[in-house]
A and B are shown apart, each in its own frame.
Chain A
């Protein structure tokens, strides 16, 4: 339970970073932190007490493995994260090129 709460704390930390920071790069770092918190939580969901890694092997018995499905899914979600973060960083660099700053308080020509 404590571990779950720590994950939640990490998630909130990331969201706080996204909402509160002014630097674009720090916002992206916040996104990465909270994304990893979700991934970590997913892995923890699949954990069993004293479970071994879910690799099919010739010698070892296949009893008491941790749930392999979350691990595969987390891999997918990490890949998705890589794609969107790479795009965000590219956009951030372009913004720096155009505006000459990373400070979002100075990048507000649009008012939504």
Chain B
């Protein structure tokens, strides 16, 4: 029993998690992609995506989740997100200024509008989701070390 408990929660929780995690991620993507036309954006969407991974981890246990989602990937994605954001900002120099919105802004309230804002949202969401997940993993792994010593 203890062994089983160590590997995550009960079957019901695991099944429900498996069914809902996809929707949560989808909702996060929706929030990110509509960040420039409605409330939300890269940060909020990124948090939702990070929460879906944390949700997986809570249901299935540390070992199982870390096998599928190595936390190195999180730190790499985080750096990529930051570099992407910086790159978008630096590309503004093509129009003459740092952070310039150099893509045509299009019509308001359309999905493809607002120039670089959606791209920035995507970059931020990478950074935030990977970062929050990495923080969570770091805290969890730290706890593992303590338990080992005792």
Contacts and interface: CB of A to CB of B under 8 A. Distances in A.
Interface stretch (B10-18, B85-93, B137-145): B137-145
Interface residues of B, number: 14
Contacts of B39: 55
A58 B109 contact: yes
B128 to A, nearest CB: 8
A69 B132 CA distance: 25
B97 to A, nearest CB: 21
A109 interface: no
Nearest to A94: B142
A56 to B, nearest CB: 8
A90 B143 CA distance: 10
A79 B132 CA distance: 11
Interface residues on A, range: 10 to 19
Interface string B108-150: 1100000000000000000000001001001100110110010
B43 interface: yes
A96 B38 CA distance: 44
A87 B46 CA distance: 20
A93 B139 contact: yes
A6 interface: no
B38 A75 contact: no
A90 B146 contact: no
Interface string A84-108: 0010011001101100000000000
24 contacts: A55-B38, A55-B39, A56-B108, A58-B108, A58-B109, A75-B43, A79-B43, A82-B132, A86-B135, A86-B139, A89-B139, A90-B138, A90-B139, A90-B142, A93-B139, A93-B142, A93-B143, A93-B146, A94-B142, A96-B146, A97-B142, A97-B145, A97-B146, A97-B149
Closest 10 CB pairs of A and B: A86-B135, A97-B146, A93-B142, A58-B109, A55-B39, A90-B139, A90-B138, A90-B142, A89-B139, A75-B43
Interface of A: 55-56, 58, 75, 79, 82, 86, 89-90, 93-94, 96-97
Given A55-B38, A56-B108, 12 more contacts: A55-B39, A58-B109, A75-B43, A79-B43, A82-B132, A86-B139, A90-B138, A90-B139, A93-B142, A96-B146, A97-B142, A97-B145
